[in-house]
Amino acid sequence: MYRLTLSAALKPFLAPSALVASLALPVAGVAAQERPTAEAMEAVRDADLALATVGFRLATANAPLCDRQEPGLGIQLHTLDQFDAGAREAARAHFGFAAPIAIEGVVAGSPAEQAGLRRDDSLLRVGAVDLAAIAGKPGTTDRLVAAQLAIAALPPSAPVEVAYLRGGVAGSATVTPLPACKSRFELLLGTAYPASADGTMVQIGARFLEEYPADQFAAVVAHEFSHNILHHRDRLEARGVTWGLLAGLGGNVKYFRQTELQADLLSVYLLANAGYPPRASVAFWKKFGPSKAGGFLRSRSHPHWADRVATIDAEIARIDSNPTRPLVPAALAERAQPLSGDWQSLIVRRK
């Protein structure tokens, strides 16, 4: 588990719009104009790579379940843009940026590692994607997002040539990616517990990484990732639902509850296929649910956490009786269909 103290002291280190992509440890007594320490910047790297590793593992192990795929390279990117003006030169020196986009971290055992790519390699080109030609704006993640999306549009399993600078010397490597479910993964800084998916991206609050064991953190990621695999955002929009505070009112409720339960059920398959214990989801809800899953509106748009545990438990029993991998749940066949709002047939009530 990561022991992070997420406070307002972090904010001077990073531009506000970049907080979705990076995390740093605060340093006691550091004023806004001071440069971030090496320790802080290494915490950025560690935390981002922790989420990237979980995302890569889930996305590649479950590629057969996904109708939208991308090349799974196993690299976590960052840009100079995402650091604010006061931290940018310190970041350039610490990470050795020789180009606007560089490898922040490499997932252990990934195709990128096997091809010899390393953290702090400054990237020039990935296949047909000319990274040097991608425009950016200081204080934003615009360049980072554009690079991620362009790389994701490459063929999911075709070898890709990567050109880089390492210590000022040009090099190249051929990476043979693993097909992966298409999705970006971003870490959100703050003291709350946000977790969301918008169809193309999964965002997870750093507090989950701080306070929950690795397998339970993976369960949170798997749940949100399931929303993307099931195209829930598109299907909810097609139903004309209202988001935000009104999600728990009126005709919205049945659709949100249906998608939450579908994501709960699919998430345990994703965990099992990726070699995580499916019961980590149960352990997470038993810890998170009693103190943090309440609130009137949330309790209406989301099933009660104890019922979710009972529902997940019942599905895990089915998984335990099936040694086949990867497991492909029948519910995937419904993802091209409109949401029916029938959440009652999915739920198992707590005893």
pLDDT value, residue 22: 39
Degrees to nearest 5, angle at CA 80 with 75 and 82: 90
Please indicate, yes or no, whether residues 290 and 156 belong to a single structural domain of this protein: no
Model pTM score:
0.89
Q: For residue 196, is it within any domain?
A: no
Please indicate, yes or no, whether residues 91 and 228 belong to a single structural domain of this protein: no
Please indicate, yes or no, whether residues 69 and 108 belong to a single structural domain of this protein: yes
Please indicate, yes or no, whether residues 236 and 307 belong to a single structural domain of this protein: yes
pLDDT value, residue 250: 62
Residue listed under structure tokens 């554009």 = 146
194: phi then psi, degrees, rounded to nearest 5: -75, 145
C-alpha distances out from residue 189 to 25, 122, 208, Å: 11, 25, 11
Distance between CA 5 and CA 25 in Å, rounded? 7
Sheet bearing 201-205, strands edge to edge: 184-188, 201-205, 195-197
Distance between CA 315 and CA 309 in Å, rounded? 10
Distance between CA 207 and CA 5 in Å, rounded? 9
Distance between CA 24 and CA 91 in Å, rounded? 12
pLDDT value, residue 298: 55
Please indicate, yes or no, whether residues 229 and 282 belong to a single structural domain of this protein: yes
Residue 4, CA atoms < 13 Å, CB-side half-sphere: 29
Please indicate, yes or no, whether residues 32 and 157 belong to a single structural domain of this protein: yes
Domain count, the chain: 2
Q: For residue 197, is it within any domain?
A: no
Pick from 82, 50, 93: nearest CA to 148: 82
pLDDT value, residue 265: 96
Q: For residue 349, is it within any domain?
A: no
Taking a C-beta distance cutoff of 8 angstroms, is the pair 213, 1 a contact?
yes
Please indicate, yes or no, whether residues 164 and 276 belong to a single structural domain of this protein: no
pLDDT value, residue 337: 95
Q: For residue 341, is it within any domain?
A: no
pLDDT value, residue 30: 33
pLDDT value, residue 98: 96
Pick from 186, 200, 104: nearest CA to 149: 200
Chunked in runs of 10, what are the mean pLDDT values of the chain (351 residues)?
40 41 34 69 90 98 96 96 89 95 97 98 97 92 95 97 97 98 90 91 93 97 98 95 64 91 97 97 95 62 91 94 87 92 94 76
Per-position b or e across 253-265, b if 16+ CB within 10 A of its CB: bbbbbbbbbbbbb
Task: Give the domain range for residue 156.
Answer: 8-181
| Cβ neighbourhood burial of 154 (10 Å; 0-12, 13-18, 19+) | middle
